[in-house]
């Protein structure tokens, strides 16, 4: 079976295609959202899943804001189909929900609802990116391999900072990124 670009990105072999890299991250967060939905009344599992999702989303939003969206604006300056500003606003709203988890604990009133709304917003955002932005970028002159290399390097830096702060709350961790 032939390895896809996404497979190569996930395993670290081959070149880093930026869009395959981001799609793999989207799938990883979706798995966390699904696992949260199946956790029922297991508060420890819900707390761990919410924390991991917030960490992943915090790093992911930074990668997109620092690298992807500026590259998209440069590669697609005249596109009337792509609105990167909308993506920035969606990120702001997701980061606002992530910040709520600084005080919300699993089992608290509003914890599950906040996570559900966050997962729905992220799902909408991912769908727009993958159906609109990514195909346009694939057709553009954007060097997706070089962008993917920058993303992989930046993600490693951000993950290192996250790992260095240990087990404090999600909000404390993301504030240090």
Residue 14 pLDDT? 45
Reduce the DSSP state of residue 99 to 3 states and report it.
helix
Q: Please give the structure tokens belonging to residue 91.
A: 């990120």
Residue 82 pLDDT? 76
d(CA 133, CA 93): 19
Cα 98 from chain centroid (whole Å) = 12
Residue 5 pLDDT? 39
Cβ proximity of 50 and 36 under 8 Å: yes
Domain ranges of the chain: 5-176
* Residue 148 exposed, middle or buried by CB count within 10 Å (0-12, 13-18, 19+): buried
Residue 164 pLDDT? 85
Residue 13 pLDDT? 39
Nearest to 174 by CA among 48, 35, 51: 51
Block means of pLDDT (10 residues each) for the chain, 177 residues, are 39 69 97 96 96 96 96 87 86 97 95 97 96 94 96 95 67 44
Residue 144 pLDDT? 97
d(CA 63, CA 52): 17
């Amino acid at each position: 079976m032939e390895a896809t670009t996404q497979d190569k990105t996930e395993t670290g072999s081959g070149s880093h295609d930026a869009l395959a890299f981001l799609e793999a991250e989207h799938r990883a967060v979706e798995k966390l959202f699904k696992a949260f939905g199946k956790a029922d009344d297991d508060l420890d599992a819900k707390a761990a899943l919410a924390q991991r999702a917030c960490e992943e989303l915090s790093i992911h939003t930074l990668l997109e804001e620092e690298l992807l969206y500026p590259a998209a604006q440069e590669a697609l300056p005249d596109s009337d189909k792509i609105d990167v500003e909308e993506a920035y606003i969606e990120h702001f709203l997701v980061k606002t929900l992530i910040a709520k988890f600084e005080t919300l604990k699993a089992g608290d009133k509003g914890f599950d609802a906040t996570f559900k709304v966050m997962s729905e917003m992220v799902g909408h955002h991912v769908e727009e990116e993958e159906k609109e932005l990514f195909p346009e970028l694939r057709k553009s002159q954007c060097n997706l391999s070089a962008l993917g290399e920058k993303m992989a390097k930046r993600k490693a830096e951000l993950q290192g900072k996250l790992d260095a702060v240990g087990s404090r709350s999600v909000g404390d961790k993301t504030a240090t990124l």
